[in-house]
Amino acid sequence: MRLMGRAAVDEITERDVRGFLLVLREGDPEHPPLSAGSAARALVAVRGLHRFALREGLAPDDPAHGVRPPTPPRRLPKAISVRDVERLLAAASGWSAADGRTARGLRDRALLELLYGSGARISEAVGLDVDDLDLAEGVARVAGKGGKDRVVPVGDYAVRAVDAYLVRARPELAGAGRGGPALFLNARGGRLSRQGAWMVLRAAAERAQLSDVSPHTLRHSFATHLLDGGADVRVVQELLGHASVTTTQVYTLVTVQLLREVYATSHPRARSARPAPGTEPRRS
């Protein structure tokens, strides 16, 4: 992917940079096309080179300054169905006959119920202290991004799971350490880490035979299922702690896509039986 006819950096023009980016995206006989993200990273390197050349007096201007990187495709959040959420929660350790509701099992179920019941991020959930919960009122105060606290409702299932954990399990886990205010404790009595919470989720997903379950899966499912149930996008925005409703609106795309798929497979006139273009019989 060389720029033909250019012997020095000061000869490169903005058109050359745009052409280079185009070749990256489309590929050539010797190189496969790059994704938008990979091409954007290559452009960052090119920009750095030309900024250096301009600063050092090796070129009279910066031809890459006005070249915008390609926009990566918007990735829709991955949500799982309500039935799969129930399978995941039921698979939390300690809630099967084999585990016998151990202390760690009760903790794991409480953690996953809270994540799905409140829409909290994993980092927000493990950051909770016992005093941040009001189980009688069914609410929790979480510390969101940017140091912004918000109060979120906690569903009845999560309230019962957390209450069972606090009464039957947390004292046992706390006895292994020095004690502390953290709600979710690890086996040594300290605060459960984000990585530890992710391992809890991954283990439950494996037992439930669910793939592609990430730390944000329950949060995505929380938002999607609320919108599917008729919740206003502004309400979901507040529950998730998004600064802009634009961030929350990506979930509406998921619900619209689902509606479109259901419509296409269910409505008798959703798909036309017309012949493909160019195959229609000619009219005399």
Q: How far apart are CA 50 and CA 9, in angstroms?
A: 8
107: Cβ contacts below 8 Å, ≥ 6 apart: 94, 165, 169, 170, 173, 184, 185, 192, 200
Which is nearest to 252 in space by CA: 227, 277, 229, 273? Answer: 227
Q: Which helix (H) or strand (E) holds 41?
A: helix 36-55
Q: What pLDDT, on a 0 to 100 scale, did the predictor assign at position 234? A: 83
Domain limits, the chain: 9-55, 86-213
Q: What pLDDT, on a 0 to 100 scale, did the predictor assign at position 165? A: 95
Q: What pLDDT, on a 0 to 100 scale, did the predictor assign at position 203? A: 93
Instruction: Return contacts of 139-144, CB within 8 angstroms, 24+ apart.
Output: 140/114, 142/118, 142/241, 144/241
CB 204 within 8 A of CB 108: yes
Q: Which two tokens stand for residue 275?
A: 């012949």
Give the rounded percent of residues in the chain with a pLDDT score beyond 70: 80
State pLDDT tens for residues 58-92: 999 999 999 998 877 666 668 889 999 999 999 98
> Between residues 92 and 97, which one has the greater pLDDT?
92
Q: What pLDDT, on a 0 to 100 scale, did the predictor assign at position 272? A: 62
Q: What pLDDT, on a 0 to 100 scale, did the predictor assign at position 156? A: 92
Q: What pLDDT, on a 0 to 100 scale, did the predictor assign at position 1? A: 43
Q: What pLDDT, on a 0 to 100 scale, did the predictor assign at position 200? A: 94
State pLDDT tens for residues 183-239: 999 999 999 999 999 999 999 999 999 988 888 889 889 888 888 888 888 888 888
Catalytic residues: 121, 145, 216, 219, 242, 251
Q: What pLDDT, on a 0 to 100 scale, did the predictor assign at position 145? A: 79
CATH code reported for the domain at 86-213: 1.10.443.10
Q: How far apart are CA 252 and CA 221, in angstroms?
A: 12
Q: What pLDDT, on a 0 to 100 scale, did the predictor assign at position 128? A: 96
3 has pLDDT over 60: no
Q: How far apart are CA 108 and CA 92, in angstroms?
A: 6
State pLDDT tens for residues 242-277: 777 776 667 666 565 655 665 566 566 666 655 555
Q: Residue 12: pLDDT band by 50, 70, 90 thresholds?
A: very high
State pLDDT tens for residues 183-192: 999 999 999 9
Q: What is the mean pLDDT of the chain?
A: 83
**pTM of the prediction?**
0.65
Q: Residue 100: pLDDT band by 50, 70, 90 thresholds?
A: very low
